[in-house]
Chain A
Amino acid sequence: MAAITSTRAGFRGSQKWQTRLNVLATLAALTLLAVLVVGIPMGWMVTTALKERTPIFAWPPVVWPNPVRFEHFTETLTAIPLLQFSLNTLVLCALSIVGRMASCSIVAFSFARLRFPGRNILFAVLLSTLMIPSQMILIPQFALFKTVGLVDVFNGYLPLVLPSFFGNAFFVFLMRQYIMTIPRELDEAARIDGASTLQVFWRIIMPLCKPPLVVITVLTFLWTWNEFMHPLIYITQFDSYTIQLGLNMLKGRFNIQWNLIMAGSLMAVVPCVVLYFFTQRYIVGGIASVGIKG
């Protein structure tokens, strides 16, 4: 009997191991698939940047560039002032980040902590703006800025940055959800000590909101860095172009210089990768911690 029980236990144990192995294998396969989905285009970008033009579309595909053309990077930098465009884009990113952090945090705090008539309706209205495609507001927004004379201010940067100072529905939602996870007892203790609402926001809530603030920083950076349409509409000075406008200058109507575009894109990706490298633990933590309390 004992032998049978032990055999059954062994069988159950091996079944458990089999199940675990299956799960692990599935996860590994999915991970490999994800790596391939991301890795193949990235690999193509790298090799294309280093290839001569003709082998780019050869069949069967030429995987390793021969000869290796590192000069495509210098050619790209000669064809367009990529460093200047990068600096311009960094300025836009920095100003947008400051604007988003300032506006979204205070609006989110109001929705999370303050009680006022119509709060939920206003929040619903705010969230509903997420459903409006940005292309739909492009022309009315341009007309608005033109009417109030802001289009050409600071080489067209002002209309690009100004909306950041008026919040963003997604980030407000993100921060509100996070703030709601912070115990109200902390606010109440501060109020007993005589803190005003603004002091509670600044001294109690904000120091605890670093994870969502980092998420806002990183996502705003990535969105601004990769934005094409809005800078295209507002910026008219070539010297003030952003990096995406610059890269598109390499794409002519009848001639696409794939290797230079890929070399430029590779250089343009570097800041995003570096930023993600240094902030990934905050991003994961920031997003994971949102939504614990609704």
Chain B
Amino acid sequence: MSQTRTIQRAMSRRSMLKLVGGSGLALAATACAAAAPAPPTAAPTAAPAVPTAVPAKPITTIDWWTVTSADIGSQAQQEALIAEFNKLSAKTGAMVKPTFLPDDGFSEKMTTVLGTGTGVPDVSTIVVDSWFPAASDLRDLIARDKVDINQYAKTFFDTRCRFGEKIIGLPITVGATMYFYNKAMFDAKGLKHPEWGYTMQQWLADAVKMTDRSKKIFGAAMPTRLWRGEFFAFGAKPMSDDGKTVEGYMNGPKTIKAFEFMVDLVESGAVPTKAEFDVLRTEGTGPIDLFNTGRLGFAGLNNGQFDQVDKAGVKFGLIHNPAVEGEDIFTNAWTLQLGIPAASKNRDAAWEYVKWLTSEPGQRFLMNNRNGAYTPPMPALWPDHPGKKDPRLDFFFKIIGTTRHVWEFAGKFPYFAKATRPGQDLYDGIYAGKIKRADVKSELDKLVAPMQKIVDEERAKLGLK
């Protein structure tokens, strides 16, 4: 009780309630004024640039959910893009209002709204497999407006924009993971720089030579997750080409080799610890900060990261994902599908934006406004790329044009990510040093039944025989 009395002396009931209530009301009033919806930043300030004789359409404002990224650009760059589109609003009948989301929460937010079917954006990238069924089929609009889908790089379009018979989006940007190698580290050890055809064994041997664990310098990094290009490079597949059978594939001889190589890589000591790697890698790419600090010989990074490495002052070369003799070279290459959720109430207006952004004017604007950091999915525009004099861009075009893409296989099956998820634990176990080479086969055997169950269930849900 004495403690209570002390507190009573310090603050009377009335003063406390006044304080809490008063500050709450004051803050509420301030924020309502401050947080009132601002007009879209990209709203056109000038009269629409269309002939006055054309009757203006009623304008629909559409909501575009986006993130700031190396793929599409900074907030300012995207706002400039939207301003460009909004100039056409009298003609298109659409105005875009962007919602910039944190990259970390984008998937969670989309999954929530698509799951409930409410509160969906009108336009978004439809990048996660589980979202595909919730995307609008664009074939009728493509046919109506005679959009030529052959203008897009075929592999990218076919692997990411199609979902069964449907077309669920049109592509923006192309990117690919390449192996960046630190030239100074190679030279310091007197190693020959990698050339086209560079193999897994060469990679492992060079990585070991560059590693100095006492200085926390590592030769290479592990692939960021299971079933990246490094696995397909062995000819491995988690299931049959028709996507029905797991037995003989997930535990097949080529998959076993791929997993055994990962054990070798971990046991070589040439890669950072799992803890370091988990913290420092970015989504889908290797630990760029380690590479930029000169502590990593090889890092799987992408074309959107050239300038970051340049800024860090690291002299680097590029090579494809290491290859395996007798097998194709594989690359993790991607495009982003810009689509319209089926629950959007503004499908026609949303289509106007999707159509414009994925057409030549929109793509050319993005390409020129990004100082060469953006590559459109239209090969016809590549000769005009602002960064065309950069030999690294040539290498990037060679990679995406001549190697096999991971998505050629993975993109065929909307259940690929879900079906292969059980294997991630095994991969993590290998990285943590808990799985030995001799155990790989039996561990893979154990995965077959749970993966087959998922495949069967997902195919049944999708109505696939």
Chain A interface residues (CB < 8 Å from chain B): 53-59, 84, 87-88, 90-91, 94-95, 97-98, 101, 138-139, 142-143, 146-147, 151, 154-155, 157, 206-208, 210-211, 213-214, 217, 228-229, 232-233, 236-240, 245, 248-249, 251-256, 258, 282, 285, 289
Q: Given A248-B104, A251-B102, A254-B282, are A94 and B112 neighbors across the interface (CB < 8 Å)?
A: no
Tell me, in angstroms, the Cα distance from A240 to B3 when the chains sit together.
41
CB distance from A122 to the nearest CB of B (A): 28
The residue that A210 contacts in the complex, of B4, B31, B288, with Cβ under 8 A, is B4
B contact residues around A54 at 8 Å (CB): 292-293, 312-313
The interface residues of chain B lying within 8 Å CB-to-CB of A59 are 215-217, 293, 295
Tell me the minimal C-beta distance from A246 to chain B in angstroms: 8
Give 9 CB contacts A-B under 8 Å. A54-B293, A55-B293, A95-B27, A213-B16, A228-B105, A238-B100, A240-B35, A248-B102, A254-B69
CB-CB nearest in chain B for A55: B293
Residue of B nearest to A286 (CB): B7
Complex Cα–Cα for A63 and B119 (A):
47
Judge whether A90 and B27 touch: CB under 8 Å: yes
- Please give the distance in Å from A292's CB to the nearest CB on chain B: 11
In the bound complex, how far is the Cα of B102 from the Cα of A245, in angstroms? 7
- Known A57-B290, A59-B216, A98-B20; judge A255-B305 contact (CB<8 A): yes
Contact in complex: B70, A255 (CB < 8 Å): yes
With a CB–CB cut-off of 8 A, which chain A residues contact B28?
A: 91, 94-95
- Give the nearest-CB partner of B292 in chain A: A54
Cβ–Cβ contact B4 & A208, under 8 A: yes
Question: Which residues of B have CB within 8 Å of A208?
Answer: 4, 8
A256 touches B102 (CB 8 A): no
Further 11 A-B residue pairs, CB within 8 A, beyond A53-B289, A146-B118 = A54-B292, A54-B313, A57-B293, A88-B31, A94-B28, A146-B119, A213-B16, A228-B105, A229-B108, A248-B102, A254-B285
B16 — which chain A residues lie within 8 A by C-beta? 210, 213
B63, B282, B285, B301, most chain A CB atoms within 10 A: B282
| Contact A282-B305, Cβ < 8 Å, known A54-B293, A155-B35, A253-B67 | no
**Of all chain B residues, which has the CB nearest A183?**
B1
B4, closest chain A residue (CB)? A208
Query: Do B293 and A254 have beta carbons less than 8 Å apart?
Result: no
Min C-beta distance of A187 to chain B, whole Å? 15
| Contact, CB under 8 Å: B35 / A252 | no
Q: Which B residues from 1 to 40 make CB contacts under 8 A with A? A: 3-4, 7-8, 11, 13, 16, 20-21, 23-24, 27-28, 30-32, 34-38
Interface residues of B in 287-339 (CB under 8 A from A): 288-290, 292-293, 295, 301-302, 304-305, 308, 312-313
Interface contact B7-A282, CB-CB below 8 Å: yes
Indicate with 1 or 0, residue by residue over B258-283, a CB within 8 angstroms of chain A CB atoms: 00000000000000000000001011
From the candidates A239, A248, A285, name the one contacting B103 in the complex (CB within 8 A). A248
Interface check B116, CB cutoff 8 A = yes
User: CB distance A254 to B288 under 8 Å?
Assistant: yes
Known: A91-B27, A155-B37, A210-B16. A252 touches B103 (CB 8 A): yes
Q: Is the pair A139, B302 in contact by a Cβ cutoff of 8 Å?
A: no
Question: Would you call B347 an interface residue if the criterion is a C-beta within 8 Å of the partner chain's C-beta atoms?
Answer: no
Q: How distant is the Cα of A87 from the Cα of B289 in the complex, in angstroms?
A: 33
Of the residues B11, B99, B101, B288, contact of A255 by C-beta under 8 Å: B288
In contact, B283 and A253 (Cβ under 8 angstroms): yes
B369 proximal to A (CB < 8 A): no
User: B7 contacts which of A94, A217, A285 (Cβ < 8 Å)?
Assistant: A285
A94 touches B100 (CB 8 A): no
Given contact pairs A155-B35, A285-B7, A232 touches B105 in the complex (Cβ within 8 A): yes
**Taking chain A's interface residues, is the majority helix, strand, or loop, or is none over half, making it mixed?**
helix
Q: Which residue of B lies closest to A258 (CB)?
A: B289
Determine the chain A residues whose CB is within 8 A of the CB of B288 once the complex forms.
254-255
B284 beta carbon closer than 8 Å to chain A: yes
Residues of A within 8 A of B31 (CB): 87-88, 90-91
A157, A251, A255: residue with the most chain B Cβ atoms closer than 10 Å: A255
Residues B127-172 near A (CB distance < 8 A): none
Docked complex Cα distance between A57 and B289 (Å)? 7
Selected from B30, B34, B70, B292, the residue in CB contact (under 8 A) with A253 is B70
The answer to whether A98 and B21 have CB atoms under 8 Å apart is yes
Chain B residues whose C-beta falls within 8 Å of the C-beta of A53 in the assembled complex:
289, 292, 312
- CB atoms of A253 and B308 under 8 A apart: no
Bound state CA distance, A58 and B112, in angstroms?
39
Residues B34 and A84 in contact, CB atoms below 8 Å apart: yes
Report the separation of the CA atoms of residues A104 and B105 in the bound assembly, to the nearest whole angstrom.
31
**Given A253-B284, A254-B285, A254-B288, A143 and B116 contact (CB-CB distance below 8 Å):** yes
Residue of B nearest to A143 (CB): B116
Chain B neighbourhood of A142, CB < 8 A: 112-113, 116, 118-119
Given contacts A53-B292, A236-B63, contact A253 B103 (CB under 8 A): yes
Chain A contacts for B34, CB-based, 8 A: 84, 87-88, 239
CB distance from A151 to the nearest CB of B (A): 6
Decide if B109 is an interface residue (CB 8 Å cutoff): yes
Chain B window 239-256, contacts with chain A (Cβ cutoff 8 Å), 1 for yes, 0 for no: 000000000000000000
- For A217, the closest partner residue in chain B by CB is B20
Q: Are A233 and B70 in contact (CB under 8 A)?
A: no
**Residue in A87, A138, A214 whose beta carbon sits within 8 Å of that of B30 in the complex:** A87
- Which of A55, A139, A239 contacts B116 (CB under 8 A)? A139
Please judge, given known A-B contacts A229-B108, A248-B105, A253-B69, whether A88 and B116 are in contact too, CB under 8 Å: no
B68: Cβ under 8 A from any A Cβ:
yes
Going nearest first, the 10 A-B pairs with the smallest beta carbon separation are A248-B102, A91-B31, A94-B24, A59-B216, A232-B105, A146-B118, A207-B13, A143-B116, A253-B69, A240-B35
